[in-house]
Structure 1
Amino acid sequence: MTTDAAIRPRRAELAGFLKARRERLSPEEVGLPPAPRRRTPGLRREEVAVLAGVGVTWYTWLEQGRPINASGQVLDAVARTLRLDRAEREHLYRLAEATPLRAWGTTSGASDAIRAVLHGLDPMPATLINGRFDILESNAAHVALFAEWHTLPCVHKNLLWCCVTEPRAREWFVDYEREIPHLVARLRSAYGRHVGDPTWEEDLRRLQEISPEFAELWSRHEVAEPRDRVLRFRHKVAGDLTFDRTELTFPTAPGLSIAVYAPRDDPTRDHLRLTRPTA
């Protein structure tokens, strides 16, 4: 049985998410007449309720994270009103319906077969990660590509931590300003499955304390699905490298994936070998 103590953090996450999504919409965007100057941005709770066809008190309680039941039909109406995309809808349903928590993937969840795939992808850089972007294991090409990424000691083997805590990350990661918000949005989506998990909560608390940039991005409550990305890195020896980044998932190991960096062009393919240590 799920206890109230376990559900409470999920309700708080739901409240913050709904408030953030409501505040990003203007009355004009949803067909309402222009409103006089408001103390807070976005729509009011009453306006969302009317547009969604639900009671004002019910919606207020939903946004406050109170213990109320929400049917799929009603959640659909709220999602349409708030203009949620697919990833945001799934996040809303997950939080509102209080689905059971699932353990995040660990190295023990990676079979020998998965490890063989990881290392067999060399010379393409690849790394095994979980939903928090913890780096669980990397192949030799990935280790070589990012061998000198850190100017400070690496205190947390995590793709996101390695970017927002490294002073020179913007210099080396050409697409930093575009990709870090995407990673944070993906982390927020994954967090919906682990609200209340002490490991996740402590990890997020520490990262918000260490990185004001992450704390600001986290406060937006943006969510995103995994999708293929084009990433560019500036390597001090190999020069500019461009990769198609995709992720391989495994039905036998939910929560784990292999992030693969496939060279996008011939110069990257040729210069990637320069990242490998010489004998």
Structure 2
Amino acid sequence: MDDLASFLRTRRSRVDPAAVGIPTDRRRRVEGLRREEVAHLSGVSVDYYVRLEQGRATQPSDQVLDALARVLGLDETERGHLRRLACQRRRPTKAPGGRVRPELLRLLGLVVGAPAMIMDHRLNVLAGNHLAELLYGRPLPGPAPGLNTARHIFLEEAERGLYGDWENCTLDVVGHLRLAAGQYPDDPKLASLIGELAMGSERFRRLWARADVRARTHGRKAYQHPLVGLLEMHQENFTLPDESGMELVVLSAAPGSPAEDGLRLLAGLGADSSAAHAAVNAQAHE
């Protein structure tokens, strides 16, 4: 799904030659650095670097990877991704399963006043609290196949308006899936999802070709909810232990903010709806 060769090529094309001390003129037609320039700056032979980009060289040393990361100007997330890609042939990684422990479900239920979800590395929502269900307007995880936020963002056109910053959300999703593909290169379900997104979305295809990676940690998240309007919240991603590949995602609103009022209103609407359904069911069984 992802490979060292393509990642090196895309990173090389983004380096400004002037930033690494290479003079340029109008006759230069290469975007970014040339292969021989990367090799020279990294201290490796041109032949070896060419073989890396052609996928013919395997198991580069840590020293070579560090040198390449420095020359290509990789950040910490990209450095980790580079190492995982280089180690794929050494240590195949089995994709984790999707079973949520009962203790995690109990913990999820204790989160009140904020939408919270448990997600896997494929961006499947495995469980969600009541506010998360109200935010997305559906039970979580719901009937098969359930909610996958990548499909939701790229393929469900009717749902696109839910995301207050849709374009940035698409960058986050593709960046995360790139990281997941590097970590779990032999995951057939992940490969199938990526193929489905590529077939169904031109934007996904364009972003995937860029080979950008993004770590999901924290940041602003905006939703344009059809019932309560704009909800500007802060998202925190907590990686769960035991290498499950799962994350606890919590969306919180600042105290006294319009988003806090909106979440309170949304919870109230949900409570009213639940009470109405309970009354109807009670009458039906009298």
TM-score by length of 1: 0.87
Q: CA deviation at 1:201?
A: 1.5
Match of 2:56 among 62, 66, 83: 66
Q: CA deviation at 1:160?
A: 1.6
Name the CA distance, whole Å, in 2 between partners of 1:53 and 1:44. 14
Which deviations, in whole Å up to 9, do the C-alpha atoms of 1:28-77 show, x marking residues without a partner? 12210014434442111111101111100000111111143311011111
Alignment of 1:57-206 (within 5 A): 57-98=47-88, 99-108=90-99, 110-147=100-137, 157-206=147-196
Match of 1:51 among 38, 41, 46: 41
Name the CA distance, whole Å, in 2 between partners of 1:253 and 1:54. 35
Q: Which residue of 2 aligns with 1:274?
A: 265
Name the CA distance, whole Å, in 2 between partners of 1:105 and 1:243. 30
Task: Give the conservation status (yes or no) of the 8 Å contact 2:122–2:177.
Answer: yes
Which deviations, in whole Å up to 9, do the C-alpha atoms of 1:129-185 show, x marking residues without a partner? 01111111111110111107xxxx996621121111132455331122223202211
Number of matched residues? 265
Q: Which amino acid aligns with 2:194?
A: L
Q: CA RMSD in A?
A: 2.2
Q: Which residue of 2 aligns with 1:3?
A: none
Q: Secondary structure at the match of 2:157?
A: coil
Change (3 A) 1:210 1:31: same
Q: CA deviation at 1:78?
A: 0.7
Name the CA distance, whole Å, in 2 between partners of 1:196 and 1:274. 44
Change (3 A) 1:69 1:257: closer
Aligned-residue identity in percent: 34
Task: Give the conservation status (yes or no) of the 8 Å contact 1:118–1:126.
Answer: yes
Q: CA deviation at 1:252?
A: 2.8
Name the CA distance, whole Å, in 2 between partners of 1:155 and 1:197. 17
Q: Which amino acid aligns with 2:122?
A: R
Q: CA deviation at 1:85?
A: 0.5
Task: Give the conservation status (yes or no) of the 8 Å contact 2:219–2:235.
Answer: yes
Q: Which amino acid aligns with 1:95?
A: L
> Which has the larger Rg?
2
Task: Give the conservation status (yes or no) of the 8 Å contact 2:93–2:185.
Answer: no
Match of 1:14 among 4, 9, 14: 4
Task: Give the conservation status (yes or no) of the 8 Å contact 1:169–1:176.
Answer: no
Q: CA deviation at 1:87?
A: 0.7
Name the CA distance, whole Å, in 1 between partners of 2:155 and 2:27. 39
Name the CA distance, whole Å, in 1 between partners of 2:232 and 2:96. 29
Change (3 A) 1:214 1:114: same
Change (3 A) 1:112 1:226: same
Change (3 A) 1:254 1:35: farther
Of 220-229 and 160-169, deviating more is: 160-169
Name the CA distance, whole Å, in 2 between partners of 1:32 and 1:169. 47
Which deviations, in whole Å up to 9, do the C-alpha atoms of 1:172-213 show, x marking residues without a partner? 311222232022112211210111322222221111001111
Match of 2:230 among 209, 221, 240: 240
Please, which runs of 5 or more residues in structure 1 have no aligned partner? 1-8
Please, which runs of 5 or more residues in structure 2 have no aligned partner? 276-286
Change (3 A) 1:156 1:26: farther
Name the CA distance, whole Å, in 2 between partners of 1:206 and 1:261. 28
Q: Which residue of 1 aligns with 2:218?
A: 228
Name the CA distance, whole Å, in 1 between partners of 2:31 and 2:133. 45
Q: Which amino acid aligns with 2:91?
A: P
Q: Which residue of 1 aligns with 2:14?
A: 24
Task: Give the conservation status (yes or no) of the 8 Å contact 1:101–1:193.
Answer: no
Name the CA distance, whole Å, in 2 between partners of 1:213 and 1:156. 23
